[in-house]
Structure 1
Amino acid sequence: MKKSELYPLLLESCNKLRGGVEPARYKDYVLVLLFFKYVSDRYKGQPFAEFKISDGASFDDLIKAKGKSDVGERVDKIIQKFLEDNKLQGALPDVSFNNPDELGYGKELVDKVSGLIAVFQNPAIDFKNNRASGDDIIGDAYEYFMMKFAQESGKSKGQFYTPSEVSRIIARLIGIGNIKQMPTKKWTLYDPAAGSGSLLIRAADEAPVDENGDSIVTIFGQEKDIATAGLARMNLILHHKGTGEIKKGNTLVSPAFTDDFGELKKFDFIVMNPPFSDKSWSDGIKATEDKYKRFDGYGIPPEKNGDYAWFLHVLKSLDDNGKAGIIMPHGILFRGNSEETIRIAILRKRYIKGIISLPANLFYGTGIPACIVIIDKENADTRDGIFLIDASRGFKKDGNKNRLREQDIEKIVRTFINQEEIEGYSRFVKYSDILEKNAGNLNVSRYIQKIDDTLPQNIAAHLKGGIPGTDIDSLKRLWSISPALKQKIFTCTDNQQNIYYLAIPTENIEEAIWQDVNVQNEKKKEVDTMFTQWRNAVKSILLNINSETNPKQLIRAISSMLLDTYKSALLLDNYDVYDCLLNYWNAKLQDDVYAIKAYGYEAGREIEYEYVQKKVKDESGETVSVDDTSKVKSFDGALIPREIIETSYFPEDLNAINALAEQSTALKAELDEMREEESGDDGLLKEVLNENEDGIPKTNLIKRLKELDSKKTSVAMDAMTKLMTLFDEDKTDEMEVLISKTPELAKFDIRNKNGTFGKAKLKAAFKLAMDSAVVPEIYKEEYDALLAYQAKMIKKEETDKAIKEAQKALDDKVQAKYVELTVDEIKHLLFNMKWMAKLEADIKDEIEQVLNTMSAKVLLIAKRYEHTLGEIEEKAEASRKAVMAALERMGYKW
């Protein structure tokens, strides 16, 4: 099952709810059905399964309820029975499929609920044999919905969703992937503001697994909102983490996890994205008398801002060697008063290991700028400082939100783990500098100054001319590739003032850059040498995928190798190349890897068919569209696109079809040209145009030709018409007289062997006479134009028929070839023709963009100071005088 196929089908279910149901509630209905469908498909009929699916409590029972007048009541009872069988009462979001306030009354409710079940009944959503990707795709689909619903829900509900990109960063930075299984140690992971559970799941996914493939960490979470807690529970189950505990309730008021002494339970790892600037955090709690002593030694957070209340809860809940990654608003880094007191107390304990400043407008439900705070109690007393990263400028636009790219995620993680200081991006700051020189202010911008890559206007250059050397130095990346190119394009005329002038015309600049030998060599090195080096390094990995392969480890390994390979590239940024790979992984490559992991490379022989749709009645009597498997609309390889098979094995057939297609296209263009030229009021083809006058239907053409044929005339044709009439009247003598008087009839064979007139002979002669007849002169040009158009139309029809026949023959060959592919052939086609070909093309495109950007910047610099202010003023004055003179000549005075 592929995510690209699953998501659109699930989104279709939302359309069934539009009307009475608020968008914020879509997820509750849709995800309950997704969950129920999943567990029903996976566990029905399996003894000792994680879930009990009994008679009357499966998705099959929902199908039977479709179309019934009491379908809503039946669905509620079926799902409730499942929950009771599995002791899950109250675990799922509180929805009723018999709720007229949201789903309507009578037939409207029946249609909505039945339509919703029908979407999930689609054979494409079948989890019975979902081995290709385990539970990841299903769980990821769940989170995809959470993201979509967060986008639609607005600020009131968006706080429940943490973007997966941020979750992945935290999961890797807290070091949970480095733990080891120990017989005496049970690792624990906790989220006190669990929301939908995405942070917990990402962190648990990062942890090692035991011999059964299960994560070696035990999951704990608490969520205040009852419906969202149900969603988190479902999310854990869908990610095969059903043993995790999600408790309901207000964590700050009544923490759900305590030890035998009534103290807060201590955890090894904590992740958290709490409600920002929680104004009601103190409701139900007297902070000065907090029995868990969370604020002791730090101070009480402001009554109307709970950011540090959550922060201190995390510190209290962490084991002595515990580690945490929490998402906080930027304000906690620099706000004063009581928050400053708390921040300084935390800094003195040296618990904070790092801070990552994130892009603005990243989170659903708030526009407040946020950061990730990494906490590590282990060896805190020996820690010298905090590692800061300003990642605020690394993102892409996604609608009205910003999103981290794959390269942004990897750059943050690598930079933090390696403690790599990068100008304008990352810096290690000592605690002494923070506390003594900056009074505990942690605002990242105070320690990391952004690199200003804008080019300020140079007033002196605008006044006096010349190009400032500072502008030219901004292209040092290009000059590092080819120092000689700088001398070729620019000439320094004043070393003291660092002033340059153009050495070549502006129109020659782009060609000079693209044709430069050093640029060409670097381009070849990055496209050929570096890519080939990486390609050879990952070949054995991608050609030896088996059931034991871990896809997430695979992509991390080959992407890391790609980053290292392109580290020395001068044109490309290695993280841009990394983004090419990860984007392709998310779009296609991971589906391929999961399929090969489950079915082997033999999956490359599989063909997927798209069938023509037909209308049938379902079990409830409704008309639905289903596949007509007797009529194939199109097909493609499940792993190997048919285009690859065609180009690899049948290039001659493909070339022949392409040649015919070009011929057909040319004929169509000629037909369009003929129509356009003769479609005006006086056009010769105006009589056969369609209503919109943008086409000529074949029926119109034939009809008009028949009309003009009927107007044809000639002496022979008139005489033949009379002869046929006389023959029918049996007036042989008169026929003989007519023939003797009409010499034009002498060339026609109208008699039988015995000399008598024959009817068949007369008809054939009449046709010949008609063929040789001509339309009246008034219609001749139109008739000739129609015939010319018809001849070209027939030729196009014949060409299109030939294309269809050739394509059918090629289709048969391609389908036969899929079946007989060897594993070695499949590996070659996948690795060389599909995966590597796509990535190499993407990298080439990246280089083209880089060179285009460089060329554009050189042109911008060259043209910016092309004319001095004085020259512009002179030109403007000359133009003004010319206009004034022209106006005077026209008689205007002022």
Structure 2
Amino acid sequence: MALKKSDLYSSLWRSCDELRGGMDASQYKDYILTLLFVKYVTDKAKTDPSSLIDVPTGGSFDDILALKGDKEIGDKINVIIGALAKANELERVIDLADFNDEEKLGKGKEMQDRLTKLVTIFADLDFKGSRSEGDDLLGDAYEYLMRHFATESGKSKGQFYTPAEVSRILAKVVGIGPHTRQDQTVYDPTCGSGSLLLKVADEAPRGISIYGQEKDNATWALSKMNMILHGNEDAVIAKGDTITSPQFIKGSELRTFDFAVANPPFSTKSWNSGLENEFSRFEYGTPPEKNGDYAFLLHVLKSLKSTGKGAVILPHGVLFRGGKEAVIRKRLLQHGFIKGIIGLPANLFYGTGIPACVVVLDKENASARTGVFMIDASKGFIKDGNKNRLRSQDLHKAVDVFNKQTELPRYARMVPLAEIASSDNDFNLNIPRYVDSSELEDIQDLHAHLHGGIPERDIDALGAYWDAFPSLRSNLFVPTGRDGYSQLTIDVAEVQQRVLASSEFVKFADQIYAQVADWYAPHRPVLAAIDADTKPSALIKTLGDDLLARFRTTPLLDEYAVYEQLMTYWHGVMHDDVFLIMNDGWQTAAAPRKTIEDKDRKITETPDLVVGSGRAASKYKMDLVPPALIIARYFAADQSTVDHLNAAAEETARGIEEYTEEHAVEDGLLEDAMDDGKISKVLVAARLKVAKREEATASEIRALQHLSGLYGDEATAKKSAKDAQVALDTKTLAKYGKLTESDIQQLVLDDKWHATVAAGIAGELQKLTHNLVGRIKQLGERYDSTLEDLETEVDQLSTKFAAHLADMGVK
């Protein structure tokens, strides 16, 4: 039975991290990804005779696996990897990591044990079925490891990886997609480990020709490996400094490409050190000597064909800094090369915490360009550890809005070049000059504070709600008689109930639920047909795009927030479920399995169901069909009985607590039954024997007997609840063996997937209700007390205070 992807990756990372010792993550990644590479090509060669990688005898992962426990394991791994490298002309590419380095891996037994454990981890991975489509185990394992290595590598060493969500934005805004031809080209002049190029390739299902350059030798080798790992063996990855020594040249000019993407190092100070040939890159101006941001931007521009499109990640400073950069910026704008700018949140990247932007270049029809499309996407993110991360909705919204050039208040607008060139702006592109995304000020109304009433200006601001629920406004507010002011028709405490009871709101909520059902119904047969050939990325894209389309015209609800409910569930649970079904089929994926407790791999799973007790207990995981689903559908009455018995047990426990709080105190009837301020069933029984023998007071004996009875009732109630729970657990476990494939699909497709997504979207409906009710209550409470009311209250308090003073004889 296959493990869930998320469990597999987390296990892989924990094991790798545990064996890292004191080595820096930026160095350790070379060992891990080298082994990942060898394992992948070995597995692929077993099932794909046409594989471009030749795995020679003595050069496979199987040969490495045979070295477990060998005293010379490090040296022998080097020999095996060297044989694989030589057979494929990959010397100085896959053999850079020294597996016999005592400083990094330890000496003697320490190295032997560390490498033995490391090799064992990779032995559990199976890439024979890898399809290199971005959905396979390899692609996801690679992405997981790279993200974690970048997180752990520190500020100065994490630049080898561009977050996947940002990479997808770049790929999509330059226009790479299903229509992209295989003979079209994409270029990354600072490709790092190739993560950005790989995400671009994922967006082109028919394939695309890949070119990249990287100056760091180890990172260049990593990029070469990663291209092969992801089925892009033909990718051309050159080595060297892009600015001083560009490797893609045609005659005396730079070679040009259809698309270019880049995430260059920010504000490089020595960018022109050793520069001899400019290749006409700086015809629009030479960047300042101590800041290379525009050097990379101009290099990308020069590397584009006459209709080429590019996207470059740069710090916000390129948008507004003066001097030489201002001159370059002005000339690029005047030539119409800058199509758009997308402002990103701060702390997204692993090499820096500063906010960055995406500058989108487009040479096609540049001379006719009359404006720059600007997006402020800086507020859309989620915290992820010590970094920020774009959510699915943030990515989709930015791409949709940019590609459709849709103007949205406080988010995006087309800014005319005339406005940018005006004397007020002087070609400054700082986004807040043109897109004000700041929070609207909540203006206090002094007249309303003095005389009461709610300003109609504030009520009008809720216009989207009144458009959706036309009669609700008149049900909640009536004019005060003073122009521009209204008052609530009900008490503030009744607002929520009035909104929820509104027939228009009830109808709206029913429509939302119906929309979700209508969206899910046509996809259910496709989901029921999931098998080994399913492409998860295509599956979720179809589901997500349809959900967005259906809610795009729904008033009040943000379609991207609705979309996020699906995508959050997909990334957290549903993708794992699909993976299990693809690998095991419905029946096997739904079968209970014993929990894994592997001390070597640091895995201790929390069981979903425990049958029995103590050492004889059987612990089970139900990855696809949690026990709660079985119980809710088949044993709801049994669960109700268990809940009732548990409530009864809790009630008896409360009775004991109340009785002891009253009598187990100093001078209380149960004082002599306490030991060090505590009382228990054993202490009560012991004291009762003594009390009877010593002929204690009748009231103490009655109190002890009553408490003893309460303890007995509690024990009986707890046993009844436990017995009922055991019976329910046993029935639940047995039910799994009786489920048909149709039963399992009903549980997963309807009770799990559909129900969870529907509940998430219902949560969005609750949020908008909460926002409306909260705002109305805020306004009602804000202007509830007028100046006259406050003066009256002050007079009453003054009179009362004077009376108190008089009572005390003070004049």
The TM-score with structure 2 as length reference comes to: 0.86
CA distance in 1, matches of 2:442, 2:224: 53
The aligned counterpart of 2:145 is 145
Correspondence list, 1:658-669, <5 A: 658-659=643-644, 661-662=646-647
SS in 2 for 1:842: helix
Cα 1:530–1:798 change in 2 (3 A) is closer
1:607 counterpart = 2:591: yes
Cα 1:834–1:788, aligned 2, differ >3 Å: closer, same or farther? closer
Counterpart residue number, 2:478: 491
CA distance in 1, matches of 2:642, 2:21: 49
Measured in 1, the distance between the counterparts of 2:406 and 2:177 equals 20
Between the aligned partners of 1:455 and 1:269, the Cα distance in structure 2 is 46
Where 2:572 maps in the other structure, the secondary structure is helix
Aligned to 2:253: 263
Shift, 1:306, TM fit? 0.9
Alpha-carbon distance between aligned partners in 1 of 2:378 and 2:140, rounded to the nearest angstrom? 26
The secondary structure found in structure 1 opposite 2:187 is strand
Question: Residue 257 of structure 1 aligns to which amino acid in structure 2?
Answer: F
Contact 2:454 2:783 (C-alpha < 8 Å) held by counterparts: yes
Inter-partner Cα distance in structure 2 for 1:688 and 1:35? 70
Q: 1:461: Cα distance to partner? A: 3.3
Residue correspondence of structure 1 range 519-668 to structure 2 within 5 A: 519-527=505-513, 529-545=514-530, 549-597=534-582, 602-603=586-587, 606-611=590-595, 613=597, 633-659=618-644, 661-662=646-647
Residue 482 of structure 1 pairs with residue 466 of structure 2:
no
Aligned: 1:250 with 2:247 = no
| Match in the other structure for 2:192 | 195
1:491: Cα distance to partner? 2.9
Between the aligned partners of 2:221 and 2:676, the Cα distance in structure 1 is 59
Q: State the 1:433 CA deviation.
A: 4.2
Residue type of the alignment partner of 1:386: V
Distance (whole Å) between structure 2 residues aligned to residue 246 and residue 543 of structure 1: 42
Q: Which moved more, 1:473-482 or 1:298-307?
A: 473-482
Answer whether contact 1:608 1:637 (CA < 8 A) is retained.
Answer: yes
Aligned pairs, how many? Answer: 801
Q: Give the aligned residue type for 1:815.
A: Y
Partner residue in 1 for 2:163 = 163
Task: Give the direction of change, closer, same or farther, for the CA distance of 1:790–1:581 in structure 2 (3 Å limit).
Answer: same
Per-residue deviation, 1:517: 1.9
Match of 2:281, SS state, is coil
Task: Kindly state the Cα deviation for residue 82 of structure 1 after the two structures are TM-superposed.
Answer: 3.9
Shift of 1:138: 2.7
Letter in 2 for 1:278: T
Q: Which residue of structure 2 lines up, in the alignment, with residue 373 of structure 1?
A: 359
Which residue number in structure 1 is paired with residue 715 of structure 2? 793
Matched with 2:763 is 845
Q: 1:293 aligns with which of 269, 277, 280?
A: 280
Query: CA 1:793 to 1:85, structure 2 compared with 1: closer, same or farther past 3 Å?
Result: farther
- Say whether the 8 Å CA contact 2:664–2:674 is kept in structure 1: yes
Q: Structure 1 residue 303: deviation in Å?
A: 0.8
Change over 3 Å in CA distance of 1:572–1:709 after alignment to 2: same
Amino acid at match of 1:811: L
Q: Does 1:219 align with 2:206?
A: no
Cα distance per residue 1:22-63 (max 9 Å; x no partner): 344443444344444444444468755444445554445555
RMSD over aligned Cα, in angstroms?
4.1
CA distance in 2, matches of 1:596, 1:624: 23
| Distance change >3 Å, CA 244–CA 798, structure 1 → 2 | same
Q: Deviations over 1:714-734 (max 9, x none)?
A: xxxxxxxxxxxxxxxxxxxxx
Which whole-Å deviations, capped at 9, do the CAs of 1:456-503 have from their partners, x for residues lacking one?
A: 22334334443322222222222222343323333333554x123333
Look up the equivalent residue of 1:648 and give its one-letter code.
R
Do 1:93 and 1:227's aligned partners in 2 also have CA atoms closer than 8 Å?
no
- Trace 1:28-43 onto structure 2 (pairs within 5 A): 28-43=30-45
Within the alignment, does 1:440 sit opposite 2:427 as a pair?
A: yes
Whole-angstrom distance in 2 between the partners of 1:20 and 1:83: 28
Partner of 1:440: helix, strand, or coil? coil
Query: What's the offset of the Cα at 1:575?
Result: 1.4
Matches within 5 A, 1:348-363: 348-363=334-349
C-alpha displacement at 1:447, in angstroms?
2.8
Which of 414, 429, 432 matches 2:400? 414
Distance 1:345 1:871 in 2: 64
CA contact (8 A) 1:684 1:785 kept: no
Identify the match of residue 733 of structure 2 among 793, 801, 811.
811
Superposed displacement of residue 811, structure 1: 1.2
Report the counterpart of residue 92 of structure 2 in structure 1: 90
For the residue of structure 1 that corresponds to 2:361, the secondary structure is strand
The answer to whether the 8 A contact 2:421-2:427 is kept is yes
* C-alpha deviation, 1:673, in angstroms: 6.1
Deviation of 1:531 after TM superposition, in Å, equals: 1.8
1:143 is displaced (CA, Å) by 2.5
Once residues 389 and 460 of structure 1 are traced to their aligned partners in structure 2, the CA distance between those partners, rounded to angstroms, is 38
Change (3 A) 1:108 1:375: same
Separation in structure 1 between the aligned mates of residue 450 and residue 706 of structure 2, nearest angstrom: 70
Query: Aligned-pair distance for 1:197?
Result: 1.6
Q: Which residue of 2 aligns with 1:738?
A: none
**Inter-partner Cα distance in structure 2 for 1:117 and 1:131:** 23
Q: Distance in 1 between matches of 2:139 and 2:635?
A: 41
TM alignment of 1:8-407, pairs within 5 A: 8-17=10-19, 19-43=21-45, 49-54=51-56, 56-67=58-69, 70-92=72-94, 94-105=96-107, 108-121=110-123, 123=124, 125-128=125-128, 136-181=136-181, 186-209=183-206, 216-259=207-250, 261-286=251-276, 289-290=277-278, 292-296=279-283, 298-407=284-393
Give 1:274 shift. 0.8
**CA shift for structure 1 position 12:** 0.9
Deviations 1:203-244 (A, max 9, x none): 1100022xxxxxx21211111222322333333333332332
C-alpha distance in 2, partners of 1:406/1:796?
47
Contact 2:4 2:577 in 1 (8 A): no
* CA distance, structure 1, for counterparts of residue 412 and residue 802 of structure 2: 61
Q: How far 1:311 sits from its partner (Å)?
A: 0.8
Secondary structure of 1:854 counterpart: helix
Q: Equivalents in 2 of 1:58, 1:100: separation in Å?
A: 23
2:170 counterpart letter in structure 1? I
Q: Using the TM superposition, name which of 264-273 and 637-646 deviates more.
A: 637-646
The answer (yes or no) to whether the contact 1:614–1:627 under 8 Å persists in 2 is no
- Pair 1:856-2:777 in alignment: no
Distance 1:197 1:682, change over 3 A: farther
How many angstroms apart in 2 are the aligned matches of 1:865 and 1:838?
41
CA distance, structure 2, for counterparts of residue 364 and residue 384 of structure 1? 36
CA distance in structure 1 between the partners assigned to 2:82 and 2:306 by the alignment = 43
1:67, 1:680 → 2: CA distance? 66
Q: Cα distance, 1:380 vs. partner?
A: 3.0
Q: CA deviation at 1:91?
A: 1.9
For residue 805 of structure 1, report the CA deviation from its aligned partner.
Answer: 3.6
SS in 2 for 1:207: coil
Going from structure 1 to structure 2, the CA distance change for 1:430 and 1:111 (only over 3 Å counts) comes to same
> Contact 2:132–2:230 (CA<8 Å) still a contact in 1?
no
Q: Which residue identity is paired with 2:248?
A: F
> For residue 212 of structure 1, what is the aligned residue in structure 2?
none
Give the Cα separation in 2 of the matches to 1:74 and 1:688: 73
Picking from 416, 441, 456, the partner of 1:469 is 456
Q: Does the 8 Å contact 1:267/1:322 carry over to 2?
A: yes
* Letter in structure 2 aligned against 1:832: D
Cross-structure match for 1:429 = 415
Taking the aligned partners of 2:658 and 2:42, their CA distance within structure 1 comes to 61
In structure 1, list runs of 5 or more residues that go unmatched: 210-215, 714-773
Moved more, 304-313 or 69-78: 69-78
**AA matched with 1:363:** F
Offset at residue 5 of structure 1 (A): 1.1
Cα 1:317–1:106 shift into 2, 3 Å: same
The structure number with the bigger radius of gyration is 1
